[in-house]
């Protein structure tokens, strides 16, 4: 399957979650084994030379793509979750939202000083969550080797917040 065929699986949902927003629905992609496999193949090919020690999947759809990619690349997967969702000792970071503050956490033992981390999510929009994830990783002695996103909403300029890090986006709107 080609990336154009994968792109055709992504549905636009107007006015979701609020008026004026056009939501990119990936559930048809997740329901299509060939399309999903193409996404993981593309990531694995593009990132094959990457010297990464672990994958960090951002809640929640980053878990889906991150788990498959971690399996394909034979790397451990760690979860980046909203506050209060992880059962063991965590490291947390607060970050600004348009109308407030949110928190991300990882298990304390997931971040090893000097480790090179691949961060995976389904979409990069404004870049705030990816930026906060990078800061969480870097503030704890590890580094971001690259970001991998299925979709990039380039008109929102999220990549500008990622300080020149390597970014692999499969589909750009």
Please identify every residue annotated as catalytic.
Answer: 61, 98
Contacts of 95 (CB under 8 A, 6+ apart): 101, 102, 103, 104, 128, 129, 131, 132, 135
Contacts of 48 (CB under 8 A, 6+ apart): none
- Between CA 54 and CA 74 the distance in angstroms is 9
1 is written with which tokens? Answer: 């399957």
Contacts of 41 (CB under 8 A, 6+ apart): none
């Amino acid at each position: 399957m080609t990336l154009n065929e994968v792109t055709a699986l992504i549905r636009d949902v107007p006015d979701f979650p609020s008026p004026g927003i056009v939501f990119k629905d990936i559930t048809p992609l997740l329901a299509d084994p060939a399309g999903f496999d193409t996404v993981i193949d593309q990531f694995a090919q593009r990132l094959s030379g990457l010297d990464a020690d672990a994958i960090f999947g951002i809640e929640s759809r980053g878990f889906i793509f991150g788990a498959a990619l971690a399996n394909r690349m034979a790397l451990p997967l760690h979860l980046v979750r909203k506050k209060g969702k992880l059962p063991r000792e965590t490291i947390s970071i607060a970050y600004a939202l348009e109308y407030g503050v949110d928190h991300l956490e990882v298990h304390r033992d997931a971040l090893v000083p000097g480790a090179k981390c691949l961060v995976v999510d389904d979409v990069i929009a404004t870049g705030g969550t990816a930026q906060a994830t990078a800061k969480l990783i870097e503030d704890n002695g590890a580094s971001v080797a690259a970001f991998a996103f299925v979709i990039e909403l380039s008109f929102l300029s999220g990549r500008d917040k990622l300080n020149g890090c390597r970014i692999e986006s499969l589909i750009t709107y």
